[in-house]
Amino acid sequence: MATATQAPTSPAAASGRGSVLPLLRGRPSTRVRLAVGRRPQTALRAQPPGAAEVVEQSVNTIRFLAVDSVEKAKSGHPGLPMGCAPLGHVLFDEFLRFNPKNPYWFDRDRFILSAGHGCMLQYALLHLAGYDSVTMDDLKAFRQWGSITPGHPENFETPGVEVTTGPLGQGFANAVGLALAEKHLAARFNKPDLKIVDHHTYVILGDGCQMEGVSNEASSLAGHWGLGKLIAFYDDNHISIDGSTGISFTEDALARYEALGWHTIWVKNGNTGYDDIRAAIKEAKAVKDKPTLIKVTTTIGYGSPNKANTYSVHGSALGTKEVEATKNNLSWHHEPFHVPDEVKRHWSHHIDEGASLEAEWNKKIVEYEKKYRQEAAELKSIISGELPSGWDNSLPKYTPENPADATRNLSQQCLNALAKAIPGFLGGSADLATSNMTLLKMFGDFQKDTPEERNIRFGVREHAMGAISNGIALHSPGLIPYCATFFVFTDYMRAAIRLSALCGSRVIFVMTHDSIGLGEDGPTHQPVEQLFSLRAMPNILMLRPADGNETSGAYKIAVLNRQRPSVLALSRQKLQQLKGTSVEGVAKGGYIISDNSSGNKPDIILIGTGSELEIVEKAADELRKDGKTVRVVSLVCWELFEEQSEKYKESVFPSEVTSRISVEAGVTFGWEKYIGEKGKAIGVDRFGSSAPAGKIYKELGLTVENVIATAKSL
C-alpha cells in the first residue's frame, strides 16, 4: 500500500495497405488505421537529472492551463484539474502508452475521465503530450461555440478523448466495457509467441461517480470478471457541489471495493506525493487477476489560498483576484496560457516514443499475419470495422408459410446468424437471456477464466449493462455489442441509451416484451410510453418489427448504422409471417405492405407497427370486402422514414388522402404527424392491466373490429 504523510496546505514551491490489417488513423468511423508498440520493459519511463523540478513545473502548467481556460470562458470546473494535476502528470507522462499523432492506435492504453466536469485536466494533458487535436487556441476556446474543447469530454469532438463523459458514473462504467473488450480480444487473438492485444484502461472518478448507482453495478461486474487491466483512480477530495461529502457520503469506499473483488490502494498525499502515485500505479499494474482502485486523496483547487478545499472552487472560475493569489502562492509568475520551454521540451518525447511504439507493433502484426492468417483476418474486421463479405446473407428469410412466432424468438435466430458471420458480434442480457432469447448457442459465457466467449452475463444491472456496452462499442469499430432486457426497463438504462445516441456508439438494444401483449405480469411490466419517448431521442433508431422479415431487416439496419444505436422492440406473443413485409422495406422505415388502390389514391390508409400490423392487415382485408380501397403501411422505424425523400414519403402517405388510422399498443402521442388532423389514432393512453394478452387487447380496443368501426366513422 502506498502511503505518505498528510500534504501541507500550500506547496513547497504511415499508413500502408500492404498488410492484411489496415492502419488506423483518424476517426474510426471514417479513416481506418492500425498501430501498436512493444510494451516498455520497465513500468516507469526514465527520469532524467533535474526531473523533480520539471515535474513541478509541469504540474503547475497543467493547473494554470485549466485555471486560465476556465477564467477566459468564465465557466467551468477548475477545482479537479488543480487537485489532480500531479496524478495526471505522472499517469500521462510516465505510464500511459499512446501515440499523440495517431489517437486511434489500436493497442493504446485507454484513459477515461469519468469526472468529466474536470475536462480541462484532460485537455491540458492532451495539449502537452502533442495531440494535434488540442492546440493552444483550442484551450483558449474552452466551452465556446464550435470549439473542440467542450464543457465535458466528447469522443466525437476531440481526438484523444475515448468516450463521452459528464453524467457521473457513466464514464467509469464505459471503462469497464473498454477493459472487457481488451480482455476478450486478448484471449481470442494473443498467441504464446505474439501478444498483440495488451493495453490497460485507466479511469479517474470522483465522489459523485462513487455515489451514482451505475458505478456500483459496473464495479461489481468488473470484480466478478477479474478485469486485471482496469485501474481506477478515485479522486478523494471530500467536496461535492453542496459542500463537504460528509453531509451525504461517509462510506468506506475501499472496503466496498474489496468486497466487490477489487485490489485497493490508498495514496494519502495526492497533492505532492509523486513517488506514492508512481508506486501505486506500478503496484496496480502488477495485479493481473482483479481490477484495482487507487484512492488518491487530493485537495480540490489545490494552491488557491481562499478557495481550496471548498465547494466554491468546484464549478466556477476563481476570479481575477484569486487567480493572482493562487499564482503567488504557487510561485507561478507568468502570463495566462504560458507553457515554459523546459516543460515543452520534456513532453516532446511522447511524439517520438509514440511513433516508435506504433512502428514496433506494426512489425509484430506483419509477423502475426504470416503465422495466423485466419485470426488476423478476424482481427482486421474488428479493428477496421469492415464487415465480412456477404454477412447480411446470413440473416434468415421468411414466407407466409412459415409458422407464426414471437419476434423475440425470430430475433434469436438473427443473433445467432450474425454471431457466426461477424467476428466482433457479442452481447448478453440483464439476467433474462432465456426470456429475451439472446443466447448465442455456439459460444459459452464470458467469465473471468473464459474471456474468449461471447455471451455476456450482466445480471440484474440494466444501467451498467447499457454503459458497459457503450464502452465495448467504442473500443473498436468492429465490435458490435447487443444488450437485452424487457422493453419497460429501458427506464433503468435511459442515461446509458442517451449517451449511446450522443456519442454515436453502435449498440443494439434488444428489448423484448414490448407491449401490453406480455399479459399477466401487469402494468409494471407493460411499456406504453417507452416507444414514443425513445422516438423523441436524437440520433437513435427505434425499430418495432412485425414479423420475421422485418426482424431480419431491423438487425441489418442496426449493424449498418455505425454512428448511432438501435433499439429493437420485440413481442412476447406469436405473430404471423405477413405477405408484404420485407428486409428492404425496413430500410426505408415505412413502406406499403398491401394496397388495392390505384393512382396513389386509396380511400383510407391503415398504419401499424409490430404486433399491431397483423391486426391492421386483417382489418384491411375486411374493409376491402366492402368495396373500400385500403393501403396498409408498416411504419417500423419513424427515424428512417423521415430520412427518405419527400417524393418517397408522398408515395406512401399522399397528402390528398386524409382518412388515416394508426394502430399501436402504446401512447397515441406523436401519431398526429402521420394521421393528420382528420385521422384517428388507436392506442393505449393509460397503463395496462394484469390479464391474458387477448383480453387486454380487446378491452383497450386493439382489435380488428375496432379498426373497422373507426375506419367507417371517418
237 is in an annotated binding site: yes
Q: Is the distance from CB of 74 to CB of 317 less than 8 angstroms?
A: yes
Beta bridge partners of 486: 512
The Cα–Cα gap between 425 and 431 comes to 19
At position 458, the amino acid (one-letter code) is F
Q: Which amino acid is at 239?
A: I
DSSP code of 690?
S
Instruction: Answer yes or no: is 475 a known binding residue.
Output: no
The 3-state DSSP class for residue 429 equals strand
Beta bridge partners of 511: 485, 569
- CB 149, CB 65: distance < 8 Å: no
* Strand extents, DSSP E, 513-616: 541-543, 566-569, 591-595, 604-608
Annotated binding residue 525 = yes
CA distance 471 to 466: 9
> Could you give the CA distance from residue 542 to residue 557 in angstroms, rounded to a whole number?
11
Which residue in 56, 119, 142 sits closest to 331, CA to CA? 56
251's grid cell: 462510506
* Distinct helix (H) and strand (E) counts, the chain: 26, 19
For 293, the enclosing helix (H) or strand (E) is: strand 292-297
The answer to whether the annotation marks 545 as part of a ligand binding site is no
User: 111 — phi, psi (to 5°)?
Assistant: -120, 130
Residue 630: what residue type?
Answer: V
Q: Are strands 680-682 and 566-569 parallel, antiparallel or unpaired?
A: unpaired
Q: How far apart are the first and last CA of the chain?
A: 77
Give the chain's radius of gyration (CA, Å): 28
> What is d(CA 685, CA 669) in angstroms, rounded to the nearest whole number?
8
- What lies within 8 Å, CB to CB, of 312 at 6+ separation is none
- At residue 463's C-alpha, the angle toward residues 457 and 466, to 5°, is 65
H or E element at residue 263: strand 263-267
The SS3 assignment for 233 reads strand
Question: According to the annotation, is 224 in a ligand binding site?
Answer: no
Q: Name the β-bridge partners of 110.
A: 201
In degrees and rounded to multiples of 5, residue 651 shows phi and psi of -70, -25
DSSP-assigned letter for residue 659? -
* Residue 198 annotated as part of some ligand binding site: no
348 half-sphere exposure, CB direction, 13 A CA radius: 8
Name the strand (E) or helix (H) holding 549: helix 548-560
What's the DSSP call for residue 382?
H
Mind telling me the catalytic residues?
Answer: 462
204 belongs to an annotated ligand binding site = no
| Distance of alpha carbon 532 from alpha carbon 555, whole angstroms | 20
**152 is an annotated ligand-binding site residue:** no
| Residue 150, marked binder | no
Query: Could you tell me if 446 and 454 are in contact, meaning their C-beta atoms sit under 8 angstroms apart?
Result: yes
C-alpha distances (whole Å) from 313 to each of 205, 319, 327, 541 are 18, 10, 15, 40
127 is in an annotated binding site: no
Please indicate if the annotation marks 238 as binding a ligand: no
Q: Annotation-wise, does 89 bind a ligand?
A: no
The sign of the dihedral angle between the CA atoms of 271, 272, 274, 280 is negative
Determine the Cα–Cα distance for residues 170 and 256; give it in Å rounded to an integer.
Answer: 19
Residue 184 assigned as binding residue:
no
Q: For 593, what's the count of Cα atoms within 13 Å in the CB-facing half-sphere? A: 33
Question: Backbone phi, then psi, for 482, in 5-degree steps?
Answer: -120, 155
Can you tell me the distance from the alpha carbon of 388 to that of 381, in angstroms, rounded to the nearest whole number?
A: 7
Tell me, letter by letter, the H, E, C secondary structure of 53-65.
HHHHHHHHHHHHH
Which residue bears the cell 456500483? Answer: 216
Annotated binding-site members: 77, 117, 166-168, 207-208, 237, 239, 314, 408, 435, 489, 513, 521, 525, 572
Annotated binding-site members for Mg(2+): 207, 237, 239
Annotated binding-site members for thiamine diphosphate: 117, 166-168, 208, 237, 314, 489
Annotated binding-site members for substrate: 77, 314, 408, 435, 513, 521, 525, 572
